[in-house]
Amino acid sequence: MKFVSVPVDKQKINLLGFDRKGLAAFFAEIGEQPFRATQLLKWLYQENVEDFDLMTNLSKSLRGYLKENCTLATPACVVEQVAADGTCKWALQTDCGNRIETVFIPEEGRGTLCVSSQVGCALACTFCSTAQQGFNRNLNAAEIVGQLYFAQKRLGQGQKITNVVMMGMGEPLLNFDNVVTSVNLMLDDFAYGLSKRRVTISTSGVVPAMYRLTQVCDVSLAVSLHAVTDALRDILVPINKKYPLKELLEACRDNVKIAPRRRITFEYVMLAGINDSVQDAKGLVKLLKTVPCKINLIPFNPFPNSSYQCSSSEVIDHFRTVLQNADLVTTIRKTRGEDIDAACGQLVGQVADKSRRHLKLQKVEVGHAA
């Protein structure tokens, strides 16, 4: 068997960046049978074996090739913080020096990992700390999967990751191919084997990518809604100017057709005096009456220089009651990891502020609040 070697001036191939289809193509390219992909996945994700020499059902020559030309590299942990409630946040550094943040949320009977898909974010949602830092680049598939790979090793056998949410830094659907490759591995029975109901991709409403996702990847979808009118959503979630509510909801209705009893999760951050009135709640009922859904009310998590305040617990409870009385399944997200800035909307990382829009937007939102 003659293998093609990686040139010495190029980096080793990171095998964490391939799903099964990608691995099969890789093995075929070097003259190996595609079934080697399944064998390798089992070693990596089920047997937790990283040493190629120990992968005994691979030929000796193939093991030597993998050892010489390939790697299993994850972003390096530079900071670990553990909150009083057990939530753990890791600042991970990529090869090119960018830092991203990954959060593990332990709960009874489950463990949820919140994964980043980009370094920073380009969408400039005005209530989100990450968005105020601007956008640097997309993460590759190895860097996305590497967060899960690192976290499970760091947690050990005592804590199991049962759920993955693509709700960390970035807009997942603006990094479509790398996110889908990563999700394929999470769902693959020969890799992580997670249920499609336990993997969630969150989006602020990149409508064309939502339609595309429906065609290629059957996972749970969470939509960052946050407003019931285009006028307000244009301010809170500026991508609404390109894909307004009518188009967004049409894409949501298309998505729920792919499986019976499927529901979209709509995320709705509670901002005092902005979007938390009874009128807003009734508007939400009217807006979502034709979309099978559940609603997740998110108490706003403050960050420096934000002009927003969180709605009071009484206002949030009343808002939920209006929705529940209209037979909308509604929950209030429990804030986790707030003492280490790991709560929803607080992930920042070490990203240079490249957003020139958010200062202008903050001036507009203050006027709206008034």
pLDDT greater than 90 at residue 145? yes
- The per-residue pLDDT for 336 is 60
Q: How confident is the model at residue 137 (pLDDT cuts 50, 70, 90)?
A: very high
Mean pLDDT, residues 222-237: 97
> Is the residue at 2 inside a domain?
no
Domain that holds residue 61: 13-71
On whether both 24 and 135 belong to a single domain, the answer is no
What digits encode the pLDDT tens for the residues 272-321? 999 999 999 999 999 999 999 999 999 998 888 888 999 999 999 999 99
On whether both 102 and 162 belong to a single domain, the answer is yes
Q: What is the DSSP string of 106-132?
A: EETTEEEEE---EEE-SS--TT-TGGG
CA distances from 256 to 150, 160, 206, 261 (A): 33, 29, 16, 8
What digits encode the pLDDT tens for the residues 75-102? 999 999 998 888 999 999 998 889 999 9
- The per-residue pLDDT for 22 is 97
On whether both 204 and 225 belong to a single domain, the answer is yes
From 22, 44, 71, give the residue that closes a domain: 71
CA distances from 231 to 124, 187, 238, 252, 364 (A): 16, 38, 10, 20, 12
On whether both 50 and 124 belong to a single domain, the answer is no
The sheet carrying 293-299 orders its strands as: 76-82, 88-93, 99-107, 110-114, 163-166, 199-203, 220-224, 264-270, 293-299, 329-332
Residue type, 299: P
The CATH number given to whatever domain includes residue 149 is: 3.20.20.70
| Total number of domains in the chain | 2
On whether both 280 and 134 belong to a single domain, the answer is yes
The CATH number given to whatever domain includes residue 23 is: 1.10.150.530
Pairing of strands 135-138, 118-120: antiparallel
On whether both 206 and 274 belong to a single domain, the answer is yes
Q: What residues act catalytically? A: 101, 344
> Under DSSP, is residue 43 helix (H, G, I), strand (E, B) or coil?
helix
Mean pLDDT, residues 57-69: 96
On whether both 58 and 156 belong to a single domain, the answer is no
From 27, 50, 71, give the residue that closes a domain: 71
Mean pLDDT, residues 21-39: 97
On whether both 64 and 204 belong to a single domain, the answer is no
pLDDT greater than 80 at residue 363? no
From 30, 53, 71, give the residue that closes a domain: 71
